[in-house]
Amino acid sequence: MTFLDLSAVRKSYGPVVALDTVSLAVPEGSRTAIVGASGSGKTTLLRIIAGFDLPDAGKVVLGGQLLADGPQAVPAHQRGIGYVAQDGALFPHLRIADNVGFGLPRDTPQRQARIAELMDMVALDTAMLQRYPHELSGGQQQRVALARALAQRPRLMLLDEPFSALDTGLRAATRKAVAQLLQSAGITTILVTHDQAEALSFADQVAVMRNGQLAQVGKPLDLYQRPADPVTARFLGEAMVLSAQISNGWAECSLGRIPVGNTQYSGSGQIMLRPEQLRLEDLSHPQALQNPNAASRAAVVLEADFCGPTCEVVVRLLHSDEMPLRVHGPANHVPAIGAQVQIQVIGQAHVFP
C-alpha cells in the first residue's frame, strides 16, 4: 500500500529547475533509495518531503494526509518525519544524552528511560551518554543522530547521505545496522545517496534521478539488469553497451551471437552486458576452440590489474574495431599483457527498449 505519494512535484530556484514534475509512490514499511548525480535534485526532493522547502506545484501525501499542495503546506514539525543529515548535525555543545533527548519533554520521569531505550535501539552503550559528540567516532555520531530522529517516533525517516563521511568498512556496517533497525521498527525510509552500490544494497525500491526528473524507478535487481537506457545502465555500475542486430531472441554483435533477455524487439539496436558476464579463457582451452563464436571472441590483453580478490583486465577484440572491453577475472589468474585469450559470455544480454 502506498504510504508516501508524490505527484507532479515541481521546484525551481530562479532559472534553475531543481525538480521537474516528479511523481513517486513509496510503499508502507519499505526502503526507497534516491540515487543520482550531483545536482540532479535529490536533496531538494527530500527537503520538500520533510517540509523544509515548499514545492512550486504538486502534491505530497503521507498516510492519506495532504502535507503539501503547491506552496500550501503543513509545517515541518507537524509532519511526523525524521531527518538525518549527511554530517549528523549533532549539537556540539550538548552531551549525547541531551542530543538524543532534544525533542523529548524535559523533567519527566520517563525521559531517561526513553533515552536509554533509544541508545539501545541504535546499539550504543549508555556509558556514552555523558560524552560530547567530538568524543565519539563518525559511525557512533551517525547512530546518535538516528536515535535523535527516532525519539519523535517518526512515521517516515529521511536519510540524506548519512554514511558518506564514514570510511568504507564502517560505512557498510553502519548502513546494514541502520537498515535492520528501521526495518524491525517498521519505519518507511527514504535514503538519498550518490553511491549506486549503497542504493542497490540498502533499498527495496530504487529511484534514479537525472536533471530533476526520475529516469527510472524499480527493484534494485530489475534496474541493474534491465536499465531503461545506457545512461542509467552506466550510472548503476559498469556496463558494456554494444551495437547489435536483434531477432528471435538473439543478438548478432561484435562478440558473435548472444541470447537476449527481452525478446519482443527485433531490428538494429543496442545491448548491454555487465563485466561479471564476461570471462576470459586461454585460447588453447578445448572449450575455447569448440565455441561457434570463437573467431569473433578472440582478444588480446591490453591491461591487467591485480585488485585483491579480483583482477581487472582490459582486452581488445582481434577481429573488430569495438572499443576495448573490461573484464573482472579471478585474482589467482592474472593474464600477461599481450596474451591472446577468448571471451566467454555468461547469461543473456539486455536489449535497450
Residues in the site for ligand ATP, rule: CB under 6 A?
Answer: 13, 16, 18, 36, 38-44, 194
Alpha-carbon distances of 219 from 36, 42, 47, 322, rounded to whole Å: 16, 18, 24, 32
* Nearest distance, CB of residue 191 and ligand ATP, angstroms: 12
Residue 32 Cβ vs ligand ATP, minimum distance, rounded to whole Å: 15
Question: In angstroms, what is the minimal distance from the CB of 202 to ligand ATP?
Answer: 16
Strand bridging mode 267-273 / 278-282: unpaired
Secondary structure of residue 249 in the 3-state scheme: coil
Between residues 13 and 91, which has the closer beta carbon with respect to ligand ATP? 13
Q: How far is the CB of 36 from ligand ATP (least distance, A)?
A: 5
Residue 148, H or E segment: helix 138-150
HSE-CB of 212 using CA atoms within 13 angstroms:
13
- Among 14, 98, 108, 6, smallest CA distance to 47 is for 6
Question: Which of residues 41 and 139 has its CB atom nearest to ligand ATP in the complex?
Answer: 41
Residue nearer to ligand ATP on the CB measure, 58 or 101: 58
Asked if residue 53 lies in contact with residue 44, where contact means CB atoms within 8 angstroms, the answer is: yes
CB distance 283 to 341 below 8 Å: yes
Query: Min. distance of Cβ 62 from ligand ATP in angstroms?
Result: 20
- The nearer residue to ligand ATP, 3 or 52, going by C-beta atoms, is 52
Question: Phi/psi of residue 179, each to 5°?
Answer: -60, -45
Give the residue with the Cβ less far from ligand ATP, 17 or 104.
Answer: 17
Q: Which is nearer to ligand ATP, 216 or 344 (CB)?
A: 216
Shortest distance (Å) from residue 309 CB to ligand ATP: 29
Distance, CA of 105 to CA of 282 (rounded, Å):
70
Orientation of helix 110-121 relative to helix 138-150, angle to 10°: 130
State CA 194 to chain mean position distance: 7
Residue 89 Cβ vs ligand ATP, minimum distance, rounded to whole Å: 15
Least Å distance, CB 171 to ligand ATP, is 16
- 332: CB partners within 8 A, 6+ apart: none
Residue type, 106: R
- Stated as kind and residue range, the H or E segment containing 49 is helix 42-50
**Residue 301: which of 278, 317, 321 has the closest Cα?**
317
When the beta carbons of 46 and 149 are compared against ligand ATP, the nearer one is 46
Cβ proximity to ligand ATP, 129 vs 198, nearer residue? 198
